[in-house]
Chain A
Amino acid sequence: MSFEPKIVAFFCNWCTYTAADLAGTSRMQYAPNARIIRVMCSGRVDPQFVLQAFREGADGVLIGGCHPGDCHYQEGNYKALRRYHLLAAMLEQLGIERERLRLEWIAASEGEKVKRVIDEMTEQLKKLGPLNWHRELEPAGSSRSPATGSERPEAKEAE
């Protein structure tokens, strides 16, 4: 069976999510690999959300926001851009390739771009292969102690 990457996509309510809606109502065909989560603004995407997605088995994370200058909240997308670059640099240090985290500006009218970006990212992730972070944390068959022990209590609560 070929590898089907899992993409967690955080789309802003005002532009990219509307564009994804448009792609749907226009009956565009695109890769079914993205799990879209609607957020009010790309600036709402806490770096914790991205890390959590990778930790729980996402192969890629896509953040979609309004084009520069178009943010419904004036500058949320600029905040997303700043965090994205620093987070991507940190993820690279931890062995997560740049291609696995992508930030795209997609306006409400750009249904076509939603299709193109998700298709492209799915292809790229297929080439990179699975990330499998949730399994990396518990190496199977290791005679040594596993990398991780019991969950932290607060982590359990949130899950």
Chain B
Amino acid sequence: MAKPKVAFYWCGSCGGCEEAAVDLAEDFLKLAEQVELVFWPIALDFKKSDVEALPERAITAAFINGSIRLSEHQEMAELLRSKSQYLIAYGSCSHLGGIPGLANLWDDEAIIDYIYRQAPSVDNPHGALPQSHLELDGKELELPEFWEAVKALDQAVEVDYYVPGCPPTAPVTKRAFQTLLSGELPPKGTVLGAGTRALCHECPLNETKPEKLSIKRIKRVHQVIPDPNLCLLAQGILCLGPATREGCGAQCIRAHMPCTGCFGPLDHVRDFGAKGIAALASLIDYNSEEELIKVLREVPDPVGTFYRYSLPTSLLRRKRLTKEGR
């Protein structure tokens, strides 16, 4: 029997997810024995035309990382969708919108204006701006269009499964592959490779969590040296473990850093940030409303804190589009 064909592609991402695939190390060779790689631009010399030449649904599974921001991303997502039986959103950007999704606090015009005109380091005397079409010396040049907002993969094309993480860890990737190769496929929309409980369940500090958590101050990571043997929330450090899906092995916490929520929400949660707010705010111990407000001001950027990886897939999706708001 022919080996299942697998494709990897990146859209709007930092490249960390590609690194994560390489992080499989020797296991990658084992994987490469089981599957046939038909497309992986960062590592192998296949072209878009090679994918176009494949019959429909010839690829068993295509893994796409990165958010959808450019017309090119949409085009490639659609191409891989039509050529694949299973399309997998790999990593936070593709799964939830990711860190690039925080660009949805601005619109395209504001971003272009800042990057090409306002930023202090800009040297652009003629005010040149990126164009999607240009005629030069009788030749037509084209660049992908920059869209007005960032989308997660499933807001652009139909997605079968998700692999969470920023980036997905090697064990998560391996488990996801095992599931896909096992032939016993879970229902469409399942998050592969991770668990279904909150991160606290697999956190090594969970047993140090007091019966009733209550915090008088919220501390940020640069303000304190955490006690490595005590639940970070009990120390007042804003950790999103209670709202985040398990599966990463609590890597950040083992490195004395709080969870920032890259594995995204648990099943049946529609808005990660809302759950983060509910989980964190409820812990605050205060005597007066003024004191409460003062403590909550210690979260200077609630959107960046609670939607760090998920603004495009949150219920509101973006900042309000008003002329004044720009």
List residues 81-140 of chain B with CB under 8 A from any CB of chain A: 104-105, 108
- Residues of chain A within 8 A of B319, CB atoms compared: 93-95
CB of A142 within 8 Å of the partner chain: yes
Least Cβ distance of B142 to chain A in Å? 16
Within 8 Å by CB of B296, from A47, A89, A145, A158, lies A89
Contact across chains for B316 and A147 when beta carbons are under 8 A apart: no
Contact across chains for B296 and A51 when beta carbons are under 8 A apart: no
Within 8 Å by CB of B289, from A54, A81, A131, lies A81
CB of B322 within 8 Å of the partner chain: yes
Least Cβ distance of B266 to chain A in Å? 12
Least Cβ distance of A58 to chain B in Å? 12
Least Cβ distance of A59 to chain B in Å? 12
- Interface digits, A36-61 against B, CB 8 Å rule (1 contact, 0 not)? 00000000001110111011000000
The stretch from B26-34, B52-60, B201-209, B279-287 touching chain A is: B279-287
A118 to B227: give the CA distance in the assembly, Å: 48
Least Cβ distance of B65 to chain A in Å? 18
Known: A89-B296, A145-B71. A51 touches B154 (CB 8 A): no
A49 to B141: give the CA distance in the assembly, Å: 48
The stretch from B35-43, B144-152, B168-176 touching chain A is: B144-152
CB of A141 within 8 Å of the partner chain: no
- Interface digits, A98-111 against B, CB 8 Å rule (1 contact, 0 not)? 00000000000000
Contact across chains for A86 and B277 when beta carbons are under 8 A apart: yes
- How many residue pairs link A and B with beta carbons under 8 A? The number is 128
CB of B313 within 8 Å of the partner chain: yes
Contact across chains for B155 and A150 when beta carbons are under 8 A apart: yes
**Contact residues on B (Cβ < 8 Å of other chain), bracket:** 35 or more
Contact across chains for B71 and A83 when beta carbons are under 8 A apart: no
A39 to B161: give the CA distance in the assembly, Å: 35
List 5 tightest A-B contacts by C-beta distance, closest first: A95-B320, A47-B274, A90-B302, A149-B155, A147-B149
CB of B193 within 8 Å of the partner chain: no
Least Cβ distance of B62 to chain A in Å? 18
A144 to B147: give the CA distance in the assembly, Å: 6
CB of B299 within 8 Å of the partner chain: yes
Residue of A nearest to B149 (CB): A147
CB of A31 within 8 Å of the partner chain: no
Contact across chains for A89 and B271 when beta carbons are under 8 A apart: no
The stretch from A7-15, A16-24, A119-127, A132-140 touching chain B is: A132-140
Contact across chains for B155 and A152 when beta carbons are under 8 A apart: yes
- Residues of chain B within 8 A of A137, CB atoms compared: 317-318
CB of A87 within 8 Å of the partner chain: yes
Contact across chains for A133 and B270 when beta carbons are under 8 A apart: no
Contact across chains for B271 and A47 when beta carbons are under 8 A apart: yes
List residues 244-292 of chain B with CB under 8 A from any CB of chain A: 268-271, 273-275, 277-278, 280-282, 284, 286, 289, 292
